[in-house]
Structure 1
């Protein structure tokens, strides 16, 4: 297949799900030594959602997936690929994607998880886009789903105020017109110790078995690296598409911290009115944050047909990446 005949992939449906329980900054004041003012000033977060004890990552993913498929007007049997971006899978194996596939009633399509932490959804879109462009799939379900509350140390005030649970999903379909214009993904494992859960199956397994597999973060170095790499990915994306900063209509960033979001908007010379911000209500939902934010802006009509949208994320690994698309 020649480049000129290759299809584009475009998003034809979005979905989202947030657990019912709201954990506000005022609630956290009763749990750790912190204040609403301290949290909001430094992060932009007012509240986050916490999965119920019986809710799993797959449960959250299923809700988001079903809404995305309904909005796309398709059934599970129409799917040729199922990807779940998650750092908090239900099980070691099978993958959350396979568990989800069974619930949705799809048989035969490849289904697998992608683990790139907060950049996971961007990585998953990159993979799905390549499946579609090469003709290996016509329709793909891509989900970011997380139960980050399960790996947060609720006694660590530097991290417990940041994270929440949720899921967002999109359906991609092959088409003749863009669609996704380009994807850009990177990683640098030299910085793995700055943001990690230092416990697992084949390393530090005692902590894992004891239920002490908690997220750790060195905040200032992570912040500096995030601002630097996200600035670079903006330049890379614009250059690859021969665009200027003014050509971007909407920024849909990973919802980690309002200061990082503002720094990226400044890099684009973009008013915050053109930046989709949900971090105040969701907190950092890792791989779920971009699809949650995208769904919010699509549902309320902010993002319109023909507009150019830039998604970008940075996460543990370190990983980072971007997706540039023309909204159909």
Structure 2
């Protein structure tokens, strides 16, 4: 028995927010003071570091569970399964359903229950629950689905990563330009086909690192101090990722028994182009092997950082031949990897 991704789908929101749209923002330092550089310089420097040119935002009437439902419909259709046969629906997110222009998160009921409701699944034995695991949430959901299947508790699972980060950003913080909205979904099944999940690795670093990403007040001091927004210690996250993600990927690959030279693609969480490039360089340096050309596909330039949605969306774009100059063929070995709030790291070695 092998455990494979038999269907994949994604939802990419329609509203395009370009870098030039931030030229009129009032960006402030953490203490509320004015940043000395003009916005055009701030935005250009941002693009040089992150690689982001534009990002996608959900329309006001849509929430994260809506986006997850749209992606799930596509994944179910792609897998050609009866949705009533699903044993688990696992939804990874960070902030629940945040309505446009609202300040509260809504997770009652959980997003997985909302998605199951929207899918009109009648089977009560289809268990729906959420996981809060930062940006690596979708990968962790796949790892959990695999565990259920291995334990004989499930045959088919739906794993979704969905987020509307545009609803929780501080528009006076330069980091707000990083974040975006989106959803990706996959069907995980036990099959007799070759390939599937070969190994996985997960770690949580919390002793010093737990609050590298956190909820904090706006940089604009006269706004309500009790309204919180997503904040991060960018330099600390960058250094943490470089010091820990490559080793986690290596541990995962070594457990799989696959030679580094047989890896065809590495799908890393689309957080920051410079950071991802540094991670991949360090990973290959651990094997004293040069980085192969085209090994790391990127979607961040057009889609931004949609947290839990980035990896499944990237995977969907590649297998549906919607990402230029990248493809995955039957038998190819790929690595999924992510790092995010918590601080959590995980990876999967997967044979397509």
TM-score with structure 2 setting the length: 0.85
CA contact (8 A) 1:182 1:323 kept: yes
Matched residue, 1:76:
83
Partners of 2:278 and 2:225 in 1: CA distance: 39
* Structure 2 residue runs without a partner (length 5+): 28-38, 98-105, 218-223, 285-289
Give the 5 Å matches for 1:125-136: 125-136=142-153
Larger helix fraction of residues: 1
CA contact (8 A) 2:199 2:253 kept: no
Moved more, 27-36 or 215-224: 27-36
CA RMSD for the aligned pairs? 1.7
Partner of residue 150 from structure 1, selected from 150, 167, 181 = 167
Matched residue, 1:230:
245
Q: In the TM superposition, what is the alpha-carbon distance from 1:210 to its structure 2 partner?
A: 8.0
Partner of residue 132 from structure 2, selected from 88, 93, 115 = 115
Q: In the TM superposition, what is the alpha-carbon distance from 1:121 to its structure 2 partner?
A: 0.8
Give the 5 Å matches for 1:1-328: 7-33=1-27, 34-35=39-40, 36-90=43-97, 91-106=106-121, 107-108=123-124, 109-157=126-174, 159-176=175-192, 177-190=194-207, 191-198=209-216, 212-266=227-281, 267-268=283-284, 269-300=290-321, 302-327=327-352
Partners of 1:71 and 1:242 in 2: CA distance: 30
Partners of 2:293 and 2:342 in 1: CA distance: 28
Q: Deviations over 1:103-152 (max 9, x none)?
A: 10223211101111101111101100111112211111111000011111
Matched residue, 2:34:
none
CA contact (8 A) 1:262 1:272 kept: no
* Structure 1 residue runs without a partner (length 5+): 1-6, 200-208
Q: Deviations over 1:174-222 (max 9, x none)?
A: 01333111111111122122211259xxxxxxxxx98722011111111
Partners of 1:211 and 1:295 in 2: CA distance: 39
Higher Rg: 2
Q: In the TM superposition, what is the alpha-carbon distance from 1:31 to its structure 2 partner?
A: 1.7
